[in-house]
Chains A and B, each alone.
Chain A
Amino acid sequence: MTFSPELEAKIERMFSQYPPDRRRSAVIPMLMYAQDEIGSVTRELVEEVARRTGITPLAVDEVVTYYSMLHRMPLGKSHVQICTNISCMLNGGTELWEQATRRLGIGHKEVSADGKISLEEVECMGACSWAPAIQVNYDFYHQVTPQKLDEMLTQLGAAR
């Protein structure tokens, strides 16, 4: 399996950062960056990461299934992550979550039929003082109001 030249370069750099006999340290970074490129952690990717780091595919599976941000199933083009943890909850995070599920007609870790948007109710993302917070892919949105969420979803291509 080959990745884009940029990712290959990144992986190359990654390996150079750890001691030569510790290639396994690159497992999680490699999975994260490759997932961004491929869209999900495919079987092929698991085997590739295993091969490159010298561990078994099972050992990679153990890791993949542990971490919340590694996904076996493809996400939407825009992955909308809504925090409902305490600070956000106190500021309307739960309502934002319900609003999004209603508008999109999908639930936790589900993808809209057109593949444009997926939803995830997430834990605290480190934006508590600017709650309620949403992350779309890796971008933070602070102090999100219901109107702002509505506009965001429209921009991301959600049907009315």
Chain B
Amino acid sequence: MPYNEPNPAEVRVLSKRFGIPNSQSIDVYLANEGYQAYERAAKMTPDEIVNVVKASGLRGRGGAGFPTGMKWSFLARNSPKPKYIIVNADESEPGTCKDRLLVEFDPHQLIEGIMIAGLAATSNQGYIYIRGEYRYLIDIMNKAIAEAYDRGYLGDNVRGTGWKFHLATHTGAGAYECGEESALLESFEGKRGIPRIRPPFPAVAGAYQSPTILNNVETYAAVPSIFRMGGEEWAKLGSPKNGGTRMFCLSGHVNRPGVYELPMGFPLMRMIEEVGGGIRGGKKLKAVIPGGSSCPVLKAEECNINMDFDSLAAAKSMLGSGGVVVMDETTDIVAVALRIMRFYAHESCGWCIPCREGTTWLRKILLRIYEGHGVASDVDLVGELSKNMLGRTFCPLGDAAAMPTIAFVEKFRHEFEAYIQKQVPAAQPDPLLQLASV
């Protein structure tokens, strides 16, 4: 059983089968519209498939929200090299825990989505890169893959159509950066998770330098319902240019945290109050991180907003990976900013100077402020160093560390200053040392 009760406000399309006993099995899947979308797509040309995805308005669920149909259309289909489908199940953005459920409770939906991508790409091989911590999901996925082979949905001759399509899982080993698509590909090839220089993009040179479609788990999982409903119908589930539903991961200080499937554009305050049951202990809302740790924080008064890519971009934040972290009035923003920076410093791959040194420096300053040894100039310095990282790093991890930090100091400057004012006196200097330095 899923880990939280469903909510009446949900529009359950991707999570439709969650909660059905034995929802992982292919029989349950087949009994519940399973693999019908594949049958439909199998009759289409790759271009037609891409057009359906385009019409659905589906945008990548991994964080950046890039239109999926457009991404698929970039694939160098004419290349003589093999084409690969890669699934990003590295889910590591703090605040995000939705891909886990999509794999755990409906692995066949994911397989079907991957197959349709495979048809669109004229590919014969897919891989699912699953973060190492999700070992039990690898077992679930492997079992589902074995079932799909058994029933002829995978193999050398898929459902007798002559199309060859193989699928396998691949484990990560603990590295947030390996969720970044090009670092993921390096990791997949057995190397350190260091991003690649782009261009070329994966659509031209991805896995094994071959044309590759790479998407998030939720993105692929959305594809079967798109083909069952039709692109236009599916698009209408959401708001304009933000098709469909989205798995929101509600966490933090709410009464009913959980993963909920809601239409794109669902109002944030309704999500907190109606779906999440309001702030725990009757406290007041202070702020919300709307899409995982890398998204700039929204103050309470900014939370009257619709949860879609464009509305959040207009508010200078991001929908990101769907991790909605709700913070009540007791929340220590300095502690949150420090914890987030500790994360990015720990996860920086170390390739480029601004991110490697910037996150570490910022972590040290924030820790010093937190421990009561901050100085007045530190607040500006934190903001400025973050801006010095922004846009200058090799991959977006540097931005992901900078953006929330800039927002924290801009929107909650007084909290940082308060820490600095109630300074803990520095330890008494050693008199001998003092003498020596005269």
Contacts and interface: CB of A to CB of B under 8 A. Distances in A.
A70 B173 contact: yes
Contacts of A68: 173-175
Interface in A17-67: 17, 19, 22, 24-29, 31-33, 53, 55, 59, 62-63, 66-67
Given A68-B175, A86-B336, A126 B192 contact: no
Given A25-B170, A70-B174, A123-B92, A90 B3 contact: no
A142 to B, nearest CB: 6
Nearest to A90: B252
A4 B28 CA distance: 35
Contacts of A127: 97, 100
B186 to A, nearest CB: 10
Interface centre among A28, A70, A90, A126 (most CB of B within 10 A): A126
Interface string A97-136: 0000000000000000000000000011111111100010
Given A67-B173, A130-B257, A131-B251, A90 B331 contact: yes
Interface stretch (B129-137, B266-274, B356-364): B129-137
B431 to A, nearest CB: 32
Contacts of B293: 85-86, 124
Contacts of B289: 86
B190 A24 contact: yes
B96 A90 contact: no
Given A31-B173, A129-B250, A130-B4, A63 B192 contact: yes
A20 B135 CA distance: 25
Nearest to A29: B171
A24 B190 CA distance: 5
B291 interface: no
A87 B251 contact: yes
Contact of A142 (B3, B133, B191, B327): B3
A30 to B, nearest CB: 9
A32 B171 contact: yes
Interface in B130-183: 131-136, 166, 168, 170-176
B96 A128 contact: yes
Given A32-B171, A67-B193, A69-B133, 12 more contacts: A59-B191, A70-B173, A85-B94, A86-B94, A87-B95, A87-B251, A87-B325, A124-B92, A126-B99, A127-B100, A128-B97, A140-B136
A25 to B, nearest CB: 5
B419 interface: no
Interface of B: 3-4, 82, 91-97, 99-100, 127, 131-136, 166, 168, 170-176, 187-193, 208, 249-253, 257-259, 289, 293, 323, 325, 327, 331, 335-336, 339-340, 343, 346-347, 349
Contacts of B343: 85, 123-124
B187 A28 contact: yes
Nearest to A70: B173
Given A89-B335, A89-B339, A124 B189 contact: no
A27 B190 contact: yes
A128 B173 CA distance: 20
A135 B93 CA distance: 17
A139 B170 CA distance: 19
27 contacts: A25-B170, A25-B189, A28-B190, A29-B170, A59-B191, A66-B193, A67-B193, A68-B175, A69-B133, A69-B173, A86-B95, A86-B325, A86-B339, A87-B252, A87-B325, A90-B251, A90-B253, A123-B343, A124-B94, A126-B91, A126-B96, A126-B97, A126-B99, A126-B133, A127-B97, A127-B100, A130-B3
Contacts of A140: 136
Contacts of A138: 133, 135-136
A140 B104 CA distance: 13
A41 to B, nearest CB: 10
Contacts of A17: 127, 166, 168, 170
A6 to B, nearest CB: 13
Nearest to A89: B339
B189 A131 contact: no
B259 A126 contact: no
Nearest to A27: B190
Contacts of B134: 126
B190 A124 contact: no
A19 to B, nearest CB: 7
Most chain A beta-carbon neighbours within 10 Å: one of B91, B188, B252, B340: B252
Nearest to B330: A90
Most buried by A among B174, B208, B335, B340: B174
Contacts of B339: 84-86, 89
